[in-house]
Structure 1
Amino acid sequence: MSVRITSTANGGGSESSTEPIRVLVVDDHALFRRGLENVLAQESDIEVVGEASDGAEAVEKAGNLLPDVVLMDIRMPRRGGIDACRAIKDVVPSARIIMLTISDEEADLYEAIKAGATGYLLKEIPIDEVADSIRAVAGGQSLISPSMASKLLTEFAAMIKKEDERQQVPAPRLTERELEVLRLVARGLNNRDIAKQLFISENTVKNHVRNILEKLQLHSRMEAVVYAVREKLLEIT
């Protein structure tokens, strides 16, 4: 299973559409691409509209095919996945990008998020979970493999220590309740679980998350966690 972070900032995803989710598969190993395509071909609500063997080809095909979701490796010839992710977000801003890789390095995870990826999954994920991951991301969620989730804040903490000398503009003030919500978001809890934890309604949680994103001028829950850790709004042990 993957850690899911539900976004409330980007409105509706593809879950309410009757059109299949259009997917572009990007990997430099042809057998891996074939395997993914064969699995996804069995899903009536998912359509593989194209494939690419490297980042440069991925950017070109994304511009032509306008996929809803891109499944992309990080380590590829000619142009790597992270660089291609940035370029694809420029060409097709609506595309949701899942990095599907063997790399469990914290730096790759952080750079992928900065580049605009909304999912980071290791290739050890059961193949039958890929379709559910595509649906989740298309529906507005962000996904991180469990083994990477705990490394996320560790990487941010290391970056903070290196930036102690850097001057910062004072961060917007969050209320105590908003900080409580943000801490639970950082732990990967969804709105329903946060509501149960804090004994408030799910709608109240959604309002708190919306206020947090507006105050921080960010677009997703994952970005909010990155920002909060960098600005020392969250304590990391």
Structure 2
Amino acid sequence: MPPRMTQRPANAAVGVALIDGIPLVREGLSALVHRTPGLRWVGAAETPSIGLRMCAKLRPDVVVLDAGLDPRGQLGRMMSDTYGIVLMVDETHVSNQYITNAISGGVRGIIRRAAQPGQLVQAIQSVHTEGQYVDATLIANLDTPVVRPRRPNSPGPPLSQREHEVLRLIADGLENQAIANVLFVSVETVRTHVKSILRKLASRDRTHAVAVAFRSGVLTIDDESVPRSRTGEEWT
């Protein structure tokens, strides 16, 4: 089954979001989605951090992600826990190992950045309805299975009030020393809280913990805390 946060009616439009640093690409996909029946434009972000907040707030069904913004593949693997990811890759700059790792990590869609618009629409629809889409020209020499079992998304024990404060400061971009200064505690105490947060949220690292927290409702975003452009479609 394709990864979806909530069950939608069978005839509901597929919500599409984009994380891409090039304005022309963001404008182009927005226009493509708007004119394609069955698709619904959710929004676009130019950086991964903004994209994570946007997706946590608006809950798209499918997220199109520029592989150039995710050189180590961490963002795609992390977001695949919640969303159907269509990874756009430049085959002249991305290695076979990168594609293999992305597929192994749960990314459901792989498409060339130079693909035709119709192909991208097909990839979005296939990832949503069938749980997979892989550009044959990219995986012709790969042995990795396209579909892999998904990891369960169930946070562990609840965070303490102080752990929640630390997590919120991590989400705001603060490092351990800055967090210690804000909370008037030692850096070692902050490290202890961070370790506990990672364990309770079953997270690989701080970034993953923030993403899990937003998806599960441990952290929430007020409308005023995430500014949007006047169009309401690009997040900045």
TM-score by length of 2: 0.55
2:28 corresponds to 1:32? no
Q: Which has the higher helix share?
A: 1
Structure 1 pair 14/110, CA: closer, same or farther in 2 (3 Å)? farther
Give runs of aligned pairs for residues 72-111 of structure 1, distance below 5 A. Answer: 72-76=65-69, 80=71, 82-90=73-81, 93=82, 95-103=83-91, 104-111=94-101
Aligned-partner Cα distance in 2 for 1:37–1:131: 12
Instruction: Provide the aligned length of Structure 1 versus Structure 2.
Output: 146
Contact 2:20 2:26 in 1 (8 A): yes
Counterpart amino acid of residue 36 in structure 2: E
* 2:233 alignment counterpart: none
Residue-by-residue CA offset, 1:131-168 (whole Å, 9 max, x unaligned)? 12211110023111121121212xx6xxxxxxxxxxxx
Q: Matches of 2:77 and 2:55 in 1, distance apart?
A: 12
Residue 47 of structure 1 aligns to a residue in which SS? strand
Find the aligned partners of 1:141 and 1:131 in 2 and give their Cα distance: 14
Q: What is the root-mean-square deviation in Å for CA atoms of aligned residues?
A: 2.8
Counterpart residue number, 1:56: 49
Q: Could you tell me how far apart the structure 2 residues matched to 1:24 and 1:80 are?
A: 20
Distance in 1 of aligned mates of 2:118 and 2:74: 28
Equivalent residue of 2:68, what SS?
Answer: coil
1:150 to 140, 146, 171: 140
CA distance in 2, matches of 1:57, 1:123: 21
- Does 1:223 pair with 2:148? yes
SS at structure 2 position matched to 1:25? strand
TM-superposed deviation, 1:223: 2.5
Deviations 1:35-86 (A, max 9, x none): 111111101210110111122222111111111000001112xx65822223
1:130 aligns with 2:120: yes
Identity %: 17
1:46 maps to which residue? Answer: 39
Instruction: Return the alpha-carbon distance in structure 1 between the equivalents of residues 50 and 96 of structure 2.
Output: 26
Q: Determine which structure has greater relative contact order: mean sequence separation of CA pairs < 8 Å that are 6+ residues apart, divided by chain length.
A: 1
Distance 1:10 1:39, change over 3 A: closer
Give, in whole Å, the separation in 2 of the partners of 1:71 and 1:131.
11
The answer as to whether partners of 1:52 and 1:61 remain within 8 angstroms in 2 is yes
In the alignment, the residues of structure 2 paired with residue 81 and residue 60 of structure 1 have an alpha-carbon distance, to the nearest angstrom, of 20
* Deviation sequence 1:12-48 (CA, Å, 0-9, x none): x989712110011111111111111111110121011
Q: Which runs of 5+ in 1 are unaligned?
A: 1-6, 157-185, 187-220, 225-237
Aligned equivalents of 1:72 and 1:42: distance in 2? 20
